[in-house]
Structure 1
Amino acid sequence: MKNKFLILLFCFGFISISRANDPNFGILPENLKQDANAIIRYYDVDVTMISKNIFTKTVKYAITILNSNADDLAHLTFYYDNTNVLGMIHGKIFDKNGKLMRKIKAEEIKDRSYFSDGTVLGDGRLKYVEIYNNTYPYTVVFEYSLTYNGFVSLPDWTPVWGYNVAVEKSQYKFKASADYKFHYKEINLPSEPLVSKSGSSIIYRWNIENVNAIKKEPFSKGLYTLYPKLYISPDNFWFDGYDGNLENWSSFGYWIDFLLKGRDIISEQTQQKVQQIISESPTDFEKAKRIYEYMQSKTRYVSIQLGIGGFQPFTALEVDKTGFGDCKALTNYTKALLDYAGITSYYAIINGGDYAKEIITDYVSVDQMNHVILCIPFENDTVWAECTSQHIPFGYLGLFTDNRYAVIVTPQGGKLVKTTKYGIEENTQIRKTNVDLNLNGEINAKTETHYRGLQYDYISDQLISKKQDQKDELLKNLKFNNFVLNDFSYTNNKSRYPEAIENIDITVKNYISYAGNRILLPLLIFDQQSYIPPKVNNRKSDVLIRFSYIDIDTILYNVPEKFTVEFLPEPVKIESKFGKYYSEVKTENNKIIYIRKVEKYEGTYKPESYEELISFYKQMVKADNQKAVLIKKE
């Protein structure tokens, strides 16, 4: 379930509300224009608890679109399903002078299924309003309200909607009875909430004003680390007939465990297959691996978004019968197979994504996670299994779920456990190339590249593609102006630390150049560093290197008989907190041997270190452009 299985928490229904005396949108705040494509003039969110199971959310906002880069922010889209009450929606558009151009008409509100492909089964739908205006600036105002009946999470507050968006003012108000229990987490908010009483209710208010736009910066974690954010969650909840508690991760795990009970029965035929696997496998690890591969062979991924189905998986018996399920169902099914084999495993909820936001470990909520995997603790090791892919090796997670906290569901409740971290020695790209130099200026290169660890992800799609698709991808990615792809092949060595081997035979025309009776030979053929991070003034965000890795190239050039080596560059050694670079070139028996090694070090570094990163890349670009000089023999 790689689409958010919690998306149902953000279901929108609409009724008419009003905001008196819209301000003059023609007057733009000069202090907020810098780097802004849009300015949120006001964004007010009002959440009121009606009972422990029902709340209303009222939203009022106005956003001024300054240029075409922010046109998407003029549109309004909201999700709903059969658990929500939908009302009316009101909207207005103002011109650059702040004059009302028109009001949104009912026929402009469109409706379609939320799920647009066959990998998702759900009852969700979208209502949306698309605004198109080619005169800037213009301002869009929307007002709506919605009611939730049953929920697992309360609406959070994200007052800044993206990069290059400034905020003039925004407010979040939460009103509940004095005895209502909830918890919240503030990120980058300037102050604690203002708390007041209204009869038997307590009101919490958060406010921000005059937040400047921030440009997206290279090598950054994301906007969520920089801008204000409020998370809010109930201690106790009721959803679709099920009660739950979110006071701690343990109680959250109890709720998920309750949803899983009785859903682990498999058919007699499948039991017999598991028995066969057990009898043929000498170790628990081998049993688990073969059971996992059996699951892959008979299932496919389909996301389920139906009511409690956003949290509760199909039964193992249903998956057994139909052969499909989402991440919840396929993980539960794999767990059921392992349970029958006598192998302990745990359902694990996680936030998936190559650059996904980290779980806030001291704040318990359901909507921090979007995916489910399986945790298999063996006696001396723990293996994690991604159950939605028919091709991923057993025990390998990859960039989508590596090195982050998951909540494993045990009979004793939920527990935070970190997934596999792949280290620098495991994330390698090792390439060996043999090159024949032809006197007509072309080269013929035969290269073999081994991708291991997280670098396996970069080539994994190629391994399962058709031959023609593999070829098309190579032709697109090989960075030569004029070349012929003579042959290629792939080998997939599946394991917990998988390895993919790529063999390429290529002829590159006009690769070498002549200067009189001399040949100028670029030494690095593949993956030459050309990118230099752009300069960023007054950088705001930390510098992120996602993971550590090593790249090693060894290239052997066969020098033509009529030529000899006149010049070879000196070895290059570059050291930085971000990594190391080393290259050397030597001759041996009329051959040139070029070796290059690059190391990158994962980490989060202070914003001021970005200049050092730029310098590191500049030096690598220069080193990668080195050339040898051959001269014709007299």
Structure 2
Amino acid sequence: MKYICAFAWLLGLLATLPAIANENNKFIKDTNLIINSEETVFTVDAIHSGTTTFKTSITILNANGQHRAKLYVPYDKLSKVNYIKGTLYDGKGRRIKQLKNSEIADISAVSNSSLVTDNRVKVANLTHTVYPYLVEFEYKITSKNMMFYPLWRPLDEENMMVEKASLSVLVPKGSKLRYRETNMPDKVKKESTDLHDVYVWQVQKLTPVRQEPSGPPLKETVPQVRTAPADFEVDGYQGNMESWESYGLFFEKLNKDRDVLPLETQQKLQALVADLNTPEEKIKKVYDYLQGKTRYVSIQLGIGGWQPFEANFVDSKGYGDCKALTNYTQAMLKAVGIKSYQALILAGDGESDILTDFPSSQFNHVVLCVPTANDTIWLECTSQTNAAGFAGSFTGGRHALLITPEGGKLVTTPDYVAQDNLQKRSIHVKLDETGNGTAQVTTVYTGIQQESRDYVLHNLKPEEQRKWLYQQVKVPSFEIKDYAWQQQKKFIPEVTEKMELSLRQCATLSGKRLFLSPNLMNKWTYAPEPIENRTTDVVRSMAFLDVDTVTFELPVGYTLEHKPQDRELKSMFGEYKSSTTIEGQKVIYVRSLKMDKGTFEPDTYAKYLEFLNSVITADKQQVVFVKNVQ
């Protein structure tokens, strides 16, 4: 019977594809997979335990959908995989394979930076080589970690369709379920049984979506339901998540009395800062000590995924994860009389901010917040190279949850404006009669713009650094004769880069004319594609300011024939200026581009493209000289 049902389902699905194609032609041609059906049922058995059952049927249409024929089911010390089932059918509905338990791989989920973890994953592989084909998966998980309720996002990637999917959450009768719906076509339906209150969300016939250029991430535009408990328990520790204040109290409880350092270490730290006058100097000295003494190692064991190792452990071992190193730094600052607070944060370059109106487990990292009379200093305690006080692209410009004795408090981390993220470059080029030349280049990078240099400086060998620089320098034909970096670890850190370049055909000779592109190294070349009927906002996630001054020394004997017009462009997205000055045999080109950070209405997209294309055109301008005839 199951074979017949699967066959009928697949034939029916394939028969509908032409009709779907006619209705959504611009989508179906790129569709990689179809979720025929998906059912997720999460049952809260008690404050400390629950189960999840999952069933899905997926049609894989081409190789780009192949990844969904593999099922990954993670588990750890606090959870158990009860069973996994799977079946593979070919394009005619014939059953090819029934998954055997012996074919389910059980592997460690250890990353390269982890030392100790109990995170594991079961992997079921039903990939096939002839398309289309259909896979069915089913599994059940029992969990003793009730801090995490389901995050349901049925349309979770581009180029996929969803015929139908549902999430059901069952909580004990009279218990409270907290939830937040986003972009859902239909609201929750509430039902009940003798034992449970049941919350059901359903979606049907979701067509493929695409992340629009310069738009928000896909997860912000598709249907989504985030659920969370009110009261919960993890490994014997109880907490409440109805407010950020109460959620913070849970972590304050986990951290209690774990900041004790050996007396010898306390005395050493006090001696280290004895001659320093300001809190800022002491904070930097302690942070430097941390960076020189410790290294980051991820340690995830049971409640240890949320509770830090004690400070004396890190002090003796010299390693820890983000929680442990942050707790250790807090303990060291306490030893020299400086109060600080651990802060939960959703870290990651370009990561979206948390939903501030829905207290829940949305964090993946811990940093340290140190208030002072003049400012608030943020410390990334897992880094051995970061400047004290610099949050950067990894944790800057978003909300964090301070863990205080009074509970959790939402605050914002430093956000960086264009002037903070500076690239200021000075280039002096000396040209010869053939159009070749040599260039002395000095560039100062600050803030987020120095992050890539900081990484290369501290993590790559000299030969790798040189190779990396060749990829970064945007000059048609050149050779790096020499380079050097100098770094200053300030609150807005700074890297000065000096290069000596040998340039080939920097200027183009055609008959008696010499053509020169004055914007040597910083031409803007990209504008996203036009989109009719745009539906999502235009998002610029980073502000920056580039200022270039380029001086060319020409060989004698040339007279100016054409000089580019000075350009000045202004828009809601930024400002551009360029000017070209001729002083005898010198060409002096000055160009600045400031781009702001922000979210703009969808109907501004055409103006955004217009501004970028105007910058591209301005950056292409040339100076033309004519050789004097004797």
Aligned counterpart, 1:581: 576
Tell whether 2:452 aligns with 1:455: no
**Structure 1 contact 114–126 (Cα < 8 Å) conserved:** yes
Cα distance change on mapping 1:171 and 1:197 into 2, 3 Å: same
CA distance in 2, matches of 1:272, 1:19: 74
Aligned counterpart, 2:168: 173
Q: What residue ranges of structure 1 are gaps of 5+ in the alignment? A: 1-17
Does the residue aligned with 1:620 lie in a helix, a strand or coil?
A: helix
**Structure 2 contact 70–125 (Cα < 8 Å) conserved:** yes
Aligned counterpart, 1:443: 437
Tell whether 2:523 aligns with 1:538: no
Aligned counterpart, 1:144: 139
Give the structure-1-normalised TM-score. Answer: 0.94
CA distance in 1, matches of 2:596, 2:79: 48
Aligned counterpart, 2:9: 24
Tell whether 2:376 aligns with 1:349: no
Aligned counterpart, 1:130: 125
Aligned partner of 1:389 among 362, 380, 383: 383
Cα distance change on mapping 1:131 and 1:624 into 2, 3 Å: farther
| Count of equivalent residues | 616
CA distance in 1, matches of 2:91, 2:473: 48
CA distance in 2, matches of 1:215, 1:120: 38
Tell whether 2:395 aligns with 1:401: yes
**Structure 1 contact 463–492 (Cα < 8 Å) conserved:** no
For residue 529 of structure 1, report the CA deviation from its aligned partner.
Answer: 1.4
Aligned partner of 2:505 among 507, 510, 520: 510
Aligned partner of 1:80 among 75, 79, 87: 75
CA distance in 1, matches of 2:363, 2:282: 30
CA distance in 2, matches of 1:120, 1:529: 44
CA distance in 1, matches of 2:89, 2:532: 34
Give the structure-2-normalised TM-score. Answer: 0.95
Tell whether 2:493 aligns with 1:498: yes
For residue 20 of structure 1, report the CA deviation from its aligned partner.
Answer: 10
**Structure 1 contact 463–491 (Cα < 8 Å) conserved:** no
Q: What residue ranges of structure 2 are gaps of 5+ in the alignment? A: none
CA distance in 2, matches of 1:485, 1:231: 52
Q: Deviations over 1:48-90 (max 9, x none)?
A: 2222222111111111122212211221111112332333321
Aligned partner of 1:566 among 561, 564, 575: 561
- Report the AA paired with residue 261 of structure 2: I
Aligned counterpart, 1:113: 108
Does the residue aligned with 1:88 lie in a helix, a strand or coil?
A: strand
**Structure 1 contact 437–558 (Cα < 8 Å) conserved:** yes
Aligned counterpart, 1:467: 462
Aligned partner of 1:335 among 318, 323, 330: 330
Tell whether 2:281 aligns with 1:286: yes
Q: Deviations over 1:410-466 (max 9, x none)?
A: 111000000011112211111010000111221211111111122122321122133
What does 1:365-444 align with in structure 2 at a 5 Å threshold? Answer: 365-366=360-361, 368-444=362-438
Does the residue aligned with 1:90 lie in a helix, a strand or coil?
A: strand
For residue 482 of structure 1, report the CA deviation from its aligned partner.
Answer: 3.2
**Structure 1 contact 295–334 (Cα < 8 Å) conserved:** yes
Does the residue aligned with 1:547 lie in a helix, a strand or coil?
A: coil
Cα distance change on mapping 1:83 and 1:475 into 2, 3 Å: same
For residue 484 of structure 1, report the CA deviation from its aligned partner.
Answer: 1.5
For residue 279 of structure 1, report the CA deviation from its aligned partner.
Answer: 0.8
Tell whether 2:48 aligns with 1:63: no
CA distance in 1, matches of 2:115, 2:619: 46
Q: Deviations over 1:111-140 (max 9, x none)?
A: 211104243420111211233323222221
Tell whether 2:247 aligns with 1:262: no
**Structure 2 contact 47–146 (Cα < 8 Å) conserved:** no
Aligned counterpart, 1:197: 192
**Structure 1 contact 25–94 (Cα < 8 Å) conserved:** no
For residue 19 of structure 1, report the CA deviation from its aligned partner.
Answer: 11
Aligned partner of 2:355 among 345, 360, 366: 360
Instruction: Calculate the aligned-residue CA RMSD, in Å.
Output: 1.7
Aligned partner of 1:54 among 27, 46, 49: 49
CA distance in 1, matches of 2:287, 2:506: 47
Cα distance change on mapping 1:300 and 1:250 into 2, 3 Å: same
**Structure 1 contact 19–60 (Cα < 8 Å) conserved:** no
For residue 202 of structure 1, report the CA deviation from its aligned partner.
Answer: 1.2
Aligned counterpart, 1:607: 602
CA distance in 1, matches of 2:113, 2:598: 39
**Structure 1 contact 221–355 (Cα < 8 Å) conserved:** no
